[in-house]
Amino acid sequence: MNDSNAPFSEQEKDGLYRAIHERRDVRSQFLPDPIPADVLARLLDAAHHAPSVGFMQPWDFLLIDSLTVRRRVHRIFQRENERGASQFSDERQQTYRSLKLEGILDGPINLCITCNRNRGEGPVLGRTSIVEMDLFSTCLAVENLWLAARAEGIGVGWVSIIDPNELAEVLELPDAVYPLAYLCLGYVSEFLERPELAKAGWRQRLPLTELVHGNGWGQPLDNDSLQVALDDMRERHA
């Protein structure tokens, strides 16, 4: 039996689940310490090993440490953030404005993961029905990097309050390349015990038991053992 077929040890499984449950969207806790090149290479390699439809691997990785470029991106965020805040009611808007929603200038490096929508020759296997599969594949690269970063003790924050067209212009992206994820990376002073938006009272995690259906929308599970396991898990997380 080769290593790729060997079962995960209990310690390895614990590490994986810990990374999943302790992953956070970091905005306020970045330290200025640089990320060593070998660590950054491991994160990028983890992202590059994500699955992709038709094995098209549509992603590219733009590493941004230029303060000039980051300031331009930050100005885009500020405009979009003001526009976003205005869409909420007065009370909700006050909470919104109290939140720090990016770390563009705080961490030592930013990373834009793009999706090349023309990668691959002719029709792409698996993308003939759902053309957005290349975007979904790139999201898997983001998640791979995020979990690997948590295991390395590095925080990641996704800046979603940004105009993609303006961002593409700043980064000089070709027409077919979409800036899917603009990320802030860096070591952090702490990883919060709870997601920041949950801690701030913006929203709480929905109970998993309310999101699992059996054989059709809104239908109960016909697997009693799974229902018991889900109920037990809900109690542990309470």
Cross-strand pairs, 201: none
Contact 86, 93 (CB under 8 A): yes
3-class secondary-structure state, position 138: helix
- Could you tell me if 62 and 154 lie in one domain? yes
pLDDT at 120: 86
Can you tell me the distance from the alpha carbon of 157 to that of 25, in angstroms, rounded to the nearest whole number?
5
Q: What is the CATH number of the domain that holds 51?
A: 3.40.109.10
- Please tell me whether residues 167 and 237 are part of one structural domain: no
The number of beta carbons lying within 10 Å of the beta carbon of residue 198 is: 13
CA–CA distance, 60 with 2 (Å, rounded to integer): 31
232: containing domain:
203-238
Record the tokens describing residue 11, joined without a space.
Answer: 């310690």
Residue 102 structure tokens: 């990016």
Domain shared by 148 and 120, yes or no: yes
Same domain, 99 and 178: yes
Residues 140 and 28 in one domain: yes
pTM of the model: 0.95
The rounded distance, in Å, linking the Cα atoms of 30 and 32 is 7
Q: H or E stretch including 47?
A: helix 37-48
Number of domains in the chain: 2
Query: Among all chains, which residue has been given the structure tokens 């834009």?
Result: 112
Q: So what's the pLDDT on residue 16?
A: 97
The confidence score (pLDDT) of residue 1 equals 43
Residue burial 115-137, b: 16+ Cβ < 10 Å; e: rest = bbbebbeeebeebeeeeebbebb
The confidence score (pLDDT) of residue 122 equals 87
The low-confidence residues of the chain, meaning pLDDT below 70, are: 1-2
Q: Do 119 and 230 reside in the same domain of the chain?
A: no
The verdict on 164 and 231 lying in the same domain is: no
Q: Do 209 and 117 share a structural domain? A: no
**To the nearest whole number, what is the mean pLDDT of the chain?**
95
Quote the pLDDT of residue 44.
98
Tens digits of residue pLDDT in 107-137: 899 999 999 999 988 899 999 999 999 999 9
Could you tell me if 213 and 181 lie in one domain? no
